[in-house]
Chain A
Amino acid sequence: MTLQVLIMRLQKFWAEQGCYLAQPYDLEVGAGTMTPDTFFRVLDRRPWRVAYVQPSRRPADGRYGDNPHRVQKHYQYQVILKPSPDDTQQMYIRSLTSLGIRLEDHDLRFDEDNWESPTIGSWGVGWQVMLDGLEITQFTYFQQAGGIDLVSVPVEITYGLERLEMFLEEKGDIYDLRWSDEVSYRDLRLREEKEFSAYNFEQAGVKGLQQMFNLYEREAAALIKKGLLLPAYDLCLKCSHVFNLLDSRGAISVTERVKIISEIRALVVEVARKYAAEGASS
């Protein structure tokens, strides 16, 4: 099965579970959790089901295309079900069998792994799902988002698409994966990994990035005051990505890291608080 068939099958499966199929968000994010289709939609009590592919950028994970597992950009398949249904786990297991995996021949394990993203004031309780020793999914019951305790608890299922595809194709090297019958992962991504690794670790202009960070941060704060919460949140995401770049350039000391993360969180928490307050009064 190729990566694109894998994606299509997941789309079909989750659409049948009542998920709206969103398109990837057009900003750099570290995880699908950070896009508005998850971040804003989990804050209130209204039922919500969504599924989408989201490219995830983690500049410091770049390995110049040399590592068979680590890349600075990979693809997640993100599912949110709110409130979490009683048969969440069976639903997830069915999604794997819908991919043609005969689970009776394998070892599927839910291994304790509690997720936390201090930058967006969010945490949850859950597992990393291991299939024959390979981590294929992060499975989390959100408890808090944007610093807000969630009354209606969403479950988040995040498949690592490349990992799952490595399992399906029985490959040990990410670049050997087939995206379609005609195109390999190597064709599509190797040059990107090499060039972005060089950019992330060596060439990204530290001074310019610092200026950008300050600019985005001020703009976000100003927009929050004007009640333009979605654009303000976009700017927080930009701050977060610029911060990750600065970090991979080694331009952030440990003390600064703590300070910057708490600055971004303060903005995000403010966005979430106002958003939730509007929802409560409308």
Chain B
Amino acid sequence: MSEFLLEILTEELPASHVRAGLEQLKATLSVELSAAGLSEGQDIRVMGTCRRLIVLAEIVPRQRDRREKVIGPPKAAAYKPDGTPTPAGLGFAKSRGIDISQVEVYATERGEYIGFTKSAPGKPAEEILPEILVRVISGLSFPKMMRWAENPFRFSRPIRNLLGLVDGRPLDFEVAGLRSSNFTFGHKIFHADCKIQPRSFEDYRSSLGEGLVVIEPNARREMIQAETQKLLEPLGAQLHPEPELLEKLTYDVEHPHAFLGSFHPDFLSLPLEVLSTALREGQHLFSVVKAGRQQPLFVGVADAPDDAKGLIRQGNERVLKARLKDADFFWQQDLKVPLAERAEGLERVVFQERLGSYEEKAQRLKKLAVYLCDKLDASNLKKEAILAAELCKADLLTDMVREFSSLQGRMGGLLAREQGLAAAAGRAIYEHYQPAGLEDASPASTLGAILSLADKIDSIVGALGLGIQATGSSDPFGLRRNAHGVCKVILDKKIDFSLGRFLDKALEAYGPKLERPAAEVKAATLEFFAGRLRYIFEKGGFRYDLVSAALGPGLDNIHHFSLRLNALNGLRSSPQFEPFILMAKRVNNILRDQPAGRVNHALLAEKEEQELWSVFGIVKENATPMMAKGDYSQAQKMVFRLQPALNTFFDKVLVMAEEKRIRQNRLALLQAISRLLSRIADYSQVVVEGEKAQ
């Protein structure tokens, strides 16, 4: 085997671009290498920093010899009826440098053709790789792309060097007007002029290590964590957890160095949320806590071997001081104005151009929050709900949120607490933007969940009501994020309510503002949610067909949808499952295109149909309260009990009886069963093994 090494050296890539680039390199190269016969399924390793995308792969040094068919003219044109070759046949053979006697006849889809089998000797990897690399590197795509110099080529950031080696021998290729080389460079400040000519990956890795570049992201993350621990352990303190910041810093540096700095303890009068945001968003610094309390300290990560003279720390402290002064000024100013007074300004803040101001939104949120209080057994919270809905957007007018928009909601909650508002309302305001995505936590308080649902549903209905959609990578109104938030809150809190009726309420609150008819918007919203639920659960590892089946009874109650899906998923490997699915499908097939009817007990002539009817009665009576309670597993197991009676029924009774009345009655019996089943799942969506084989 041979060792293949690729390094794309660039100007600083954003962390998310490094990850996107590496993922694509791994995926496309593994396809290309095996298609070219250069890989036999060996693992491809990718790694990188903000300045390099690196690939390491084991490859076959030379392709296997290949045999390929060369097809010529149709047999009918190549030979006369008597079997002697025509000029066309002879011409083909001559043009390919073979004798006509070597020509064979191949049956193709279009008929019989003449041709021959050519054996092509495998080429060495070094000959094939350049073409592949040009294609793969040019095909990389990033969330935002750019051009540089006079080059039409587009990439995330300018490419400055290309290194490609097979067993230490340089490959020759050209991308973006740049010719590949057999060297690279170390850290841009500390080892910029030092050319590294690696002979192998190990050599590459260790030379770059000496050049102050740690190429593996995991190694850099561990360095940051270990150094941080060394700084904080003696103090008995920890980092305030900021996983996204840690991830960004891991990629933003080639050689991490963690350093500890401090700020004046006076700034500790600022809330932890404000301090940590000012540290993180302004300067990418971590906050430090001890026993849950913020310390006047921070941890920064520099792209340097050390901070021997302490200049990096001092510089950061100086800048931080000015930032915290700003934040403190904002906090003091913002505290002076009561939230209620602040909220008066909301009529001048546009929520969406055609949907009006945040003041109007607050009015709608009041109605929706009150409705939810009633539905969710929280009527005692109505007063606080109204207050929270009125004030939850007021912090958009604070200087703090203007400076740090990520504090929206939390800032309002903090001000509410400082200004002595009802605790439940303050908490709800604090939490109402949560969850910001599927990974984020749902609001902890009931009222927080209520306000979060109201806010998100109002935004979704408003956008869809104007025909604003999420398409491909573009989602200007955050529709997907909001819908994920709604689903997550409902699922986390097991909220048992009708989404449809809540949508009616939201549509009613908008009144004539929406440009599309209410029924259309409602249908579009439900369809949108079906898509999002599908995404969420398939990402969570549920089978596609089971998700479809559980969506069958509808998604009016999202909590119940999840219970149905979990029940199906839990029972999918039970012995009753597959035969039952096949039976349910059989029932559905018979009923296709049949008019609905009612069962007339007196017409149930045969013993087997009477038996089925009676078992059905018992099953239905037992299953119905189970479904109402959301216990779909028990309900499903109860419904399994129909199986023997159904089997006997199909064995012994002719459904399509001659006599119309009897026939219709038997169909009506099956319809009644089908209706019961359809409340648990649309079984016709489930794919079972037996079917796949057919």
Contact = CB atoms under 8 A, between A and B. Distances in A.
Interface of A: 45, 67-70, 83-86, 88-90, 93, 103-112, 114, 124-125, 127, 130-134, 141, 143, 151-153, 155, 167, 170, 172-173, 253-255, 258
A264 to B, nearest CB: 19
Contact of A167 (B189, B315, B329): B315
B148 A141 contact: yes
A253 B348 contact: yes
Given A103-B189, A134-B319, 5 more contacts: A105-B312, A106-B304, A110-B12, A130-B283, A153-B148
A104 B319 contact: no
B320 interface: yes
Which 10 A-B pairs give the minimum distances between C-beta atoms?
A132-B315, A107-B302, A110-B12, A133-B316, A125-B146, A112-B14, A254-B350, A133-B283, A83-B149, A133-B319
B311 A105 contact: yes
A133 B300 contact: yes
B325 A68 contact: yes
B439 interface: no
Contact of B315 (A111, A134, A143): A134
Nearest to A68: B322
B306 to A, nearest CB: 10
A133 B315 contact: yes
Contacts of A134: 315, 318-319
Given A125-B144, A125-B157, A104 B189 contact: yes
A153 B283 contact: no
23 contacts: A67-B329, A68-B325, A86-B160, A89-B11, A89-B160, A105-B308, A106-B315, A107-B307, A109-B303, A110-B50, A111-B252, A114-B144, A125-B157, A127-B12, A132-B319, A133-B283, A133-B315, A141-B147, A143-B146, A153-B151, A167-B315, A172-B321, A173-B322
Contacts of A130: 283
A132 B284 CA distance: 11
Contact of B312 (A67, A90, A124, A132): A132
Contact of A107 (B11, B12, B312, B325): B312
Contacts of B149: 83-86, 152-153
Nearest to B257: A107
Contacts of A45: 150
Contacts of A173: 322
Contacts of A254: 348-350
A222 to B, nearest CB: 30
A279 B70 CA distance: 54
Contacts of A258: 353
A254 B354 CA distance: 12
Interface in B12-53: 12, 14, 50
A30 B37 CA distance: 58
Contacts of B302: 107
A50 B147 CA distance: 21
Contacts of B253: 109
A69 B160 contact: no
Chain A contact residues, majority secondary structure: mixed
Interface in B248-307: 252-253, 282-285, 300, 302-304, 307
A241 B308 CA distance: 47
Nearest to A149: B147
A269 B320 CA distance: 40
A90 B252 contact: no
Given A103-B189, A132-B311, A153-B149, A110 B319 contact: no
A106 B311 contact: yes
A105 B326 CA distance: 28
Contact of B322 (A69, A89, A90): A69
B350 A255 contact: yes
A270 B353 CA distance: 27
B418 to A, nearest CB: 24
Contacts of A69: 322, 326
B283 to A, nearest CB: 4
Q: Which of A86, A89, A112, A124 has the most CB of B within 10 A?
A: A112
Interface in B315-359: 315-316, 318-322, 325-326, 329, 348-350, 353
A189 to B, nearest CB: 17
Contacts of B148: 83-84, 141, 153, 155
Contacts of A133: 282-285, 300, 315-316, 319-320
A85, A90, A106, A173, most chain B CB atoms within 10 A: A106
Contacts of B349: 254
B73 interface: no
A84 B193 CA distance: 21
A86 B176 CA distance: 12
Contacts of B309: 105
A13 B325 CA distance: 35
Contact of A172 (B50, B282, B283, B322): B322
Contacts of A124: 146
Contacts of A86: 149, 160
B535 interface: no
Nearest to A87: B160
A207 B316 CA distance: 45
Given A90-B192, A132-B312, A172-B321, A109 B252 contact: yes
Given A141-B146, A143-B147, A152-B150, A131 B158 contact: no
A128 to B, nearest CB: 11
Contacts of A103: 189
Contact of A108 (B11, B147, B285, B303): B303
A56 B664 CA distance: 85
Contact of B304 (A85, A107, A155): A107
A127 B144 CA distance: 13
A245 B190 CA distance: 46
A172 B312 contact: no
Most B-side CB within 10 Å, residue of A85, A86, A253, A255: A86
B80 interface: no
Contacts of A255: 350, 353
A272 to B, nearest CB: 18
B67 interface: no
B188 interface: yes
A244 to B, nearest CB: 17
Nearest to B283: A133
Contact of A132 (B157, B316, B329): B316
A69 B403 CA distance: 14
B259 to A, nearest CB: 9
Contacts of B192: 90, 93
A83 B150 contact: yes
Contacts of A93: 188-189, 192
A47 to B, nearest CB: 10
A167 B144 CA distance: 32
B683 to A, nearest CB: 50
B592 to A, nearest CB: 55
B147 to A, nearest CB: 5
Contacts of B320: 133
A67 B326 contact: yes
B169 to A, nearest CB: 26
A125 B14 CA distance: 11
Contacts of A105: 308-309, 311-312
Interface string B344-378: 00001110010000000000000000000000000
A215 B657 CA distance: 89
B224 to A, nearest CB: 14
Contacts of B189: 93, 103-104, 108
Contacts of A88: 158
A153 B157 CA distance: 13
Contacts of A84: 148-149, 158
A61 B160 CA distance: 38
B594 to A, nearest CB: 57
Contacts of B322: 68-69, 172-173
Contacts of B303: 107-109
A151 B315 contact: no
A132 B11 CA distance: 19
Interface-central residue, A86, A110, A155, by most chain B CB under 10 Å: A110
